[in-house]
Structure 1
Amino acid sequence: MLKSIAMALVLLTAGSGMRAQHAADALEWSPCPNDKVGMRCADLQVPVDWQDPGGRKITLKLGRLASTGTSEGVALIAYGGPGGPGVAITQAQSGWWTDLRKRMDIVTWDTRGYGAQFGGLSTGLPCLWTRIPLPAFPRNDADFGRLSDTNRGQAEVCRQADPTLFATMSSADHARDMEAIRKALGGAKLNYYGASYAGFYGQAYARLFPDQVRTMVLDGTWNHSAADWSRELEEMAKGNERFLTRFFDWCAANACQDVPATWRALVARADRVPVPAAKNVAYTGGDLQAFAIASARQGRTAWPGLAQAIRKAHAGDASAFLPARGARYPDQATGVTECTDWPRAADRKELDATISRLRKVAPNAGPAGTIATGVLQCIGWPTPVTNPPAPLPKTLPPLLGAGAWGESDAVARAIGQVAGSVTINHDGPGHTLYGANTCARDHINRYLTDKVLPPENTTC
């Protein structure tokens, strides 16, 4: 009896692979541009607006690395960004997928809206949005109004280039594109690996199409599936506080015991009078918090330099915080996708309450490095939040998460809603695990191929 069941499962798996192979062959595949690894590309037409399926179409560029063995199915891969060009990244990192390709085809795509200016080959929004400094928190209603007007003005330049595409670049729109890709590849249930921001595409897909998920890996992402968004913001801030606490604990044993108190005094003073860092550049307390969090999460190799930078800034010179790539960072790109995914304050009163709460739960880190800071550029945005955070369906099969410091906690909060799910933790710095951590990669591959999860509390 058991032997018969096992044989049936083998035949079912092989049949899924053959169906996927047949459907993939039905697409018009040809060598990808500038390809050196055997990747073939195809175009898939999808609606620009999934609410109007019969309307205008855009092109998604798909890339495929065929299985080197007998294909048992497809693993759909995305790298986040948002807008990371899946075809080019997979070509550059094809070695990551060597073991998984023994049993599965690797398929990726370039996400809608992020065209040639981002290295993508799908239909792009004909506008190049650039990295600009994070704005300061508005101090009064007039500041809030000016920030709203500034953000809208910057966004309108891109919106007017293609209003419909501009409004349909949320993670939920990418998830609907994923469903079209799944169907075009034969209709077998989805096996998905999403890194970084692409984890939000996965979470959106899980909400929209829970019955079509076979396996789903969320690597190095945050929780876009919280039922209580205010509490999730607090968890983000607490995670950043732990980065700094880890650094301060190290200082306590390494001749920089003065740094915690020096840090708090520095931030308070810089919020009143920004600290000069270079000609025409001065950093607020929030700027310094963002820099310090980024440095602290790099681990021990960065901590001595961070201690020196804090002391130097406390003496009036913040130049040690200057990044090599520019003088006014921290910054971010204008968020055509982000501003449709994440809640933003409706007025200054709501924003002030949020900032006050985060400063209370994270006195050293404050709101820096959280979505509350990131969406300051979304205040006044000309399109609404169309894909807000929402809980995952309970009917999903067990999911697999992975992440380093901070990330694994956030992923666990997301997938912990789904019974049987497991998160792989790396007790150290980093961003995503699959590419660099062979232990995590082996567990992820086994899950994608055989649906076998690692034990709970697995550390790699």
Structure 2
Amino acid sequence: MPKPLTITKPLTITKLLAVTKPLTIVLVLLSAAALNPAPAVAATTGPATLSPSTLKWQPCPNDKIGMDCADLQVPVDWQKPTGRKITLKVGRLKATTGTSKGSVLVAYGGPGGPGISLTQSLSAWWADLRQKQMDLITWDTRGYGSEQFQGLSTGLPCTWTRIPIADFPRDDADFGRLSDANRGYAEACRLKDPELFANMSSADQARDMEAIRKALGEDKLNYYGASYAGFYGQAYARLFPDRVRTMVLDGTWNHSAADWRRELEETAKINDRMMRRFFTWCASNACADVPVLWRALVAQADRTPIPTTTENVAYKARDLQSFAIALARQGAPAWPKLAGAIRKASEGDASDFVPARGGRYPDQATGVTECTDWPRFANRKEMTALISRLRKIAPNTGTANTIAVGTLNCIGWPVPVTNPPAALPKNLPPLLGAGAWGESDAVARVLSQVPGSVTIHHDGPGHTLYGVNTCARDHINRYFTDRTLPEPKTPC
């Protein structure tokens, strides 16, 4: 049996820049949708500030870059505004030239990425924006304030571990046992702080964002959400559409779909596209035999796990598919390794798929936030129908690295889905998206609901663009400062 894995991990700088699975479980990332062809330039009015900030700023703990911090008290349950309060630690890097014209609120995803420590390590990213007289604001998200997540806000005082779910339940009894196991793991954590456990969805984070906006004294919000923090932005847009000035969704995916089943199908399609891009490369790079070997390998591993030289590690089809997607996403530098691993596994040794560091099995981590954001299977019949559909539309990658797999850990969860996917409202200003392979397609589908919105596309591997793509960063900074958007389908 594999060793238990930590179910939810903070978004480290390595994770943020990784070109493999950028989020807690997968990288989903979906297929294209048409963008609105309307002109993409809006008025150039600056951010408005109504009143002085009510936050009491002082140097952040162990700060070396001039970042200030402040504590903000918010309700643990936003449905009970006069009830118990928790503390959000908010950080600020002030504008470096002139008088501040406003601020941009930044979140790095994860979920649970510690905004303060990440911003301290990534401060160079924001130098140009600060020179344009914008303050940079971030915060450590609720529930993730612990040594495990490096956050400074009120945390959920537990660490939960899970054994990866090797197979989908094969019958109703299996489904029931999975539900009981999930509930047991979750209950051990929930009982530490039931109220906080039940209020850690992306919608709760969005309400915290609104509290930060008010505490800053600003009329409207400028927001940059990377990776999973794009869910926070979409939730904010649904809850407070009249308070959005600018919003950037970078390297995220669609949590605003009317048809969630279709979104899961798009997840599988984009993964299959990753493998087909690799196969196309192989056709002219001395590995034209690999596509046939891969399909035979998957069929074989579906019947009997492929052994490795690592003790007690053998890989089933979905394991191999998950590792292969991760390598395919990295582009041409990783493709020779993937071709070699497939050939070796076809000869009966899957050792080249074993990660050099970390867990020996694909990361299937899902946590408190995800299980309140993602719809889960109600029964085995529903699950089986979707599995069959995903395997049909993605013959090379199946269900691997999809939210459908991630939600297995949420079956039986003691808290319901409190922030289900829903369409964006009609009265939002034009938004800006960005993303690399697959990610830009997903973001474009989100923004297709908002007339005048634009998505920046990068035709290459990667996860999020702002920190590593100067072209995208320039467009994003211009949008934040004067609300000027690039032309539709702008490449970077």
> Are residues 1:28 and 2:56 paired?
yes
Q: How far did 1:165 drift?
A: 0.3
Which of 110, 114, 129 in structure 2 is aligned with 1:81?
110
Over residues 20-57 of structure 1, what are the superposed CA-to-partner deviations in whole Å (9 max), with x where a residue is unaligned?
6x21xx31111001101100000000000001111000
- The CA distance in 2 between the partners of 1:88 and 1:181, in whole Å, is 18
> Are residues 1:138 and 2:169 paired?
yes
Where does residue 247 of structure 1 map in the other structure? Answer: 278
- The CA distance in 2 between the partners of 1:257 and 1:197, in whole Å, is 36
For 1:38-437, list aligned pairs within 5 A: 38-69=66-97, 70-102=99-131, 103-117=133-147, 118-130=149-161, 132-277=163-308, 278-437=310-469
Over residues 213-263 of structure 1, what are the superposed CA-to-partner deviations in whole Å (9 max), with x where a residue is unaligned?
000000000100011111111111111111000000011111111111111
- Contact kept in structure 2, 1:281 and 1:327, CA below 8 Å: no
Q: How far did 1:333 drift?
A: 3.1
Where does residue 13 of structure 2 map in the other structure? Answer: none
- The CA distance in 1 between the partners of 2:356 and 2:466, in whole Å, is 28
Over residues 369-403 of structure 1, what are the superposed CA-to-partner deviations in whole Å (9 max), with x where a residue is unaligned?
11101111111111111101111111100110000
- Contact kept in structure 2, 1:132 and 1:333, CA below 8 Å: no
- The CA distance in 2 between the partners of 1:99 and 1:346, in whole Å, is 48
- Contact kept in structure 2, 1:131 and 1:334, CA below 8 Å: no
- The CA distance in 1 between the partners of 2:298 and 2:359, in whole Å, is 19
How well do the aligned residues superpose, as a CA RMSD in angstroms?
Answer: 1.3
Matched position secondary structure for 2:364: strand
Mark the runs of 5 or more structure 1 residues left unpaired by the alignment. 1-8
> Are residues 1:459 and 2:488 paired?
no
Quick one: percent identity of the two aligned structures? 74
Equivalent AA in structure 2 for residue 444 of structure 1: I
- Specify which structure has the bigger relative contact order, considering alpha-carbon pairs within 8 angstroms and separated by 6 or more residues: 2
- The CA distance in 2 between the partners of 1:338 and 1:427, in whole Å, is 28
Matched position secondary structure for 1:255: coil
> Are residues 1:442 and 2:474 paired?
yes
Q: How far did 1:192 drift?
A: 0.1
Equivalent AA in structure 2 for residue 235 of structure 1: E
Matched position secondary structure for 1:62: strand
- Contact kept in structure 2, 1:134 and 1:330, CA below 8 Å: no
Q: How far did 1:327 drift?
A: 4.8
Q: How far did 1:326 drift?
A: 3.4
Q: Which moved more, 1:128-137 or 1:411-420?
A: 128-137
- The CA distance in 2 between the partners of 1:132 and 1:210, in whole Å, is 40
Equivalent AA in structure 2 for residue 260 of structure 1: P
Q: How far did 1:129 drift?
A: 2.6
Distance 1:358-1:43 versus aligned 2 partners, 3 A rule: same
- Contact kept in structure 1, 2:365 and 2:406, CA below 8 Å: no
- The CA distance in 1 between the partners of 2:286 and 2:157, in whole Å, is 53
- The CA distance in 2 between the partners of 1:82 and 1:199, in whole Å, is 10
Matched position secondary structure for 1:216: strand
Over residues 127-180 of structure 1, what are the superposed CA-to-partner deviations in whole Å (9 max), with x where a residue is unaligned?
013464244211111221111111111111110100110010000000000000
Distance 1:131-1:141 versus aligned 2 partners, 3 A rule: closer
- The CA distance in 2 between the partners of 1:48 and 1:34, in whole Å, is 27
Equivalent AA in structure 2 for residue 105 of structure 1: D
Over residues 319-347 of structure 1, what are the superposed CA-to-partner deviations in whole Å (9 max), with x where a residue is unaligned?
10001123532023341100000011011
- Contact kept in structure 1, 2:454 and 2:485, CA below 8 Å: yes
Where does residue 5 of structure 1 map in the other structure? Answer: none
- The CA distance in 2 between the partners of 1:134 and 1:304, in whole Å, is 29
Over residues 53-87 of structure 1, what are the superposed CA-to-partner deviations in whole Å (9 max), with x where a residue is unaligned?
11000000000001112211110000000000000
Over residues 248-306 of structure 1, what are the superposed CA-to-partner deviations in whole Å (9 max), with x where a residue is unaligned?
00111111111111111111111111111221111110111111001001000000110
Question: TM-score normalized by structure 1?
Answer: 0.95
- Contact kept in structure 2, 1:155 and 1:381, CA below 8 Å: yes
- Contact kept in structure 2, 1:30 and 1:42, CA below 8 Å: yes
Mark the runs of 5 or more structure 2 residues left unpaired by the alignment. 1-42
- The CA distance in 2 between the partners of 1:274 and 1:115, in whole Å, is 39
Q: Which moved more, 1:224-233 or 1:329-338?
A: 329-338
Q: How far did 1:186 drift?
A: 0.4
Matched position secondary structure for 1:217: strand
Q: Which moved more, 1:271-280 or 1:87-96?
A: 271-280
- Contact kept in structure 2, 1:64 and 1:108, CA below 8 Å: yes
Where does residue 30 of structure 2 map in the other structure? Answer: none
Larger helix fraction of residues: 1
Q: How far did 1:187 drift?
A: 3.3
- The CA distance in 2 between the partners of 1:131 and 1:193, in whole Å, is 32
Matched position secondary structure for 1:215: strand
